[in-house]
Chains A and B, each alone.
Chain A
Amino acid sequence: NAGVTQTPKFQVLKTGQSMTLQCAQDMNHEYMSWYRQDPGMGLRLIHYSVGAGITDQGEVPNGYNVSRSTTEDFPLRLLSAAPSQTSVYFCASSHRKRGTYEQYFGPGTRLTVT
């Protein structure tokens, strides 16, 4: 099992450009999430999905879109990049275990917007 994979590992964008961060998991987990991690802020939930075809907003959804057409893939789209979106982005998939959701995180994508 590869677990959760993310591409690219690094990306530099100019303000106003759009791009898609890719996330895939091979564990057949129903739940997938996108977080951003900024210094002093911890991880903040952007969007999440409870299954194919179902997505919902998290804590900081503005400026991002998601879709979930398959169980395996959960791409995150930046519509018009802004410097405030410079961050490290983590995708996670999870399943129910011991009464809660055990999350598995990908290695992250480091995004810089200039």
Chain B
Amino acid sequence: QKEVEQDPGPLSVPEGAIVSLNCTYSNSAFQYFMWYRQYSRKGPELLMYTYSSGNKEDGRFTAQVDKSSKYISLFIRDSQPSDSATYLCAMSVSDNNDMRFGAGTRLTVKP
């Protein structure tokens, strides 16, 4: 079983929809949770970072962490065609570089 599981999609939504992206994990020691966005043929870029449980909001993006369920989510409000990309979740035990990534969910937002 992989340490981090992520539904690969693809996920297709109309412009303006609310998008929910999710990851589950098995290692209860994970404390640092991140979401990356990766456009086609580019390197990933950090979108959101959360420590331990709780919510974090940044513009149209909200990250949620539920450590009791070992489940994290990224919500995108008022989705735009420019949000079309692959979204990767990542997590680590301590605040170092040893991160574990999900396989990524490919999202398409149609105009």
Interface residues of A (CB under 8 A from B): 4, 31, 33, 35, 40-45, 48, 50, 58-59, 90, 92, 94, 96, 98-108
Taking A40-B8, A43-B88 as contacts, is the C-beta distance between A94 and B97 under 8 angstroms? yes
Chain B residues proximal to chain A, CB less than 8 Å: 4, 6, 8, 32, 34, 41-46, 49, 51, 88, 90, 92, 95-104
Residue in contact with B45 in the complex, picked from A44, A45, A105, CB distance below 8 Å: A105
Tell me how far the C-beta of B45 lies from the nearest C-beta in chain A, rounded to whole angstroms. 7
Contacts A42-B4, A44-B101 supplied; 8 other A-B pairs, CB < 8 Å: A33-B97, A43-B90, A50-B96, A90-B44, A100-B49, A103-B44, A105-B45, A108-B41
Q: Is the CB of A42 within 8 A of B51?
A: no
Q: How many angstroms from the CA of A100 to the CA of B95 in the assembled complex?
A: 5
- The reply to whether B43 and A106 contact each other, CB–CB distance below 8 Å, is yes
Counting residue pairs across A and B whose Cβ atoms lie within 8 Å, the total is: 62
Rounded to whole angstroms, the CA-CA distance of A45 and B32 in the bound complex is 16
Q: What's the nearest-Cβ distance from chain B to residue A56, in Å?
A: 9
Query: Known: A40-B8, A102-B46, A105-B44. Contact between A45 and B99, CB under 8 A?
Result: yes
- The residue of chain A having its C-beta at the shortest distance from the C-beta of B49 within the complex is A100
When the two chains form their complex, are residues A31 and B97 in contact, meaning their CB atoms are under 8 A apart?
A: yes
- Across the interface, A107 reaches (CB within 8 A) one of B42, B90, B100, B103, namely B42
